[in-house]
Every structure is written in structure tokens, then in C-alpha cells.
Amino acid sequence: DVKVTQSSRYLVKRTGEKVFLECVQDMDHENMFWYRQDPGLGLRLIYFSYDVKMKEKGDIPEGYSVSREKKERFSLILESASTNQTSMYLCASSWVGYGYTFGSGTRLTVV
């Protein structure tokens, strides 16, 4: 089975900190995605990548950046964490035209 591993299940960070969320997949998938999930808003796409060093903005990229130096790893970076970035963050990977495989999520709290 494809595995998508997110490095932390729970994180607590202070306002203004630089935060790194890591995601690794083990099936050579081309596409990787970062979503945030909030009650009443569903899943919202932050950034995605369809190849190494390639990235595209999703629907809510403000305050975030990403890095994809290797095919299996896709990092989400909060340049200066703010309380409105408290959320569940979900990473996913896929082949073109197929459904996603999701990680277990990272619940980030910014205090």
C-alpha cells in the first residue's frame, strides 16, 4: 500500500515562529498536495506540486510556501505563524487521474 507520512500528529507553535510541516510518500507519485481542513469550510488547497522543484498555488496560498527538492518529500512552510493558521493540515499524493492517498494529518495550534 502507498504510504503518506506526515512527520507530526500534533504541533504547538508560537506566533511569529517559522514552522515546517513535512510529508513523505513512498510510491513514486508525481503529484503532491497540501490542504488545510477547518470546521464548516471543508478542505482547502494551499499548494500542490506535479514534479520536483515545481509548485503551484492553490486556493489559499497566502502566508505559506512549499519546497519539493526530492520527489518523495513535500514540505509546507509557515513563514511567520499566526493564530489564524491553527488548523488540521493534510498532505496527499497521487498519480495523474487517480484519487489521492492522504497522510494522517498534522493538527497545528499557534498560540
What is the closest distance, in whole angstroms, from the C-beta atom of residue 96 to other proteins in the complex?
A: 5
Bridging pattern class, strands 106-110 and 87-94: antiparallel
What is the closest distance, in whole angstroms, from the C-beta atom of residue 111 to other proteins in the complex?
A: 21
Which residues of this protein are in contact with other proteins, per CB under 8 A?
4, 31, 33, 40-43, 45, 48, 50, 56, 58, 90, 92, 94, 96-97, 99-105
What is the closest distance, in whole angstroms, from the C-beta atom of residue 55 to other proteins in the complex?
A: 13
Which of 78/102 has CB closer to other proteins? 102
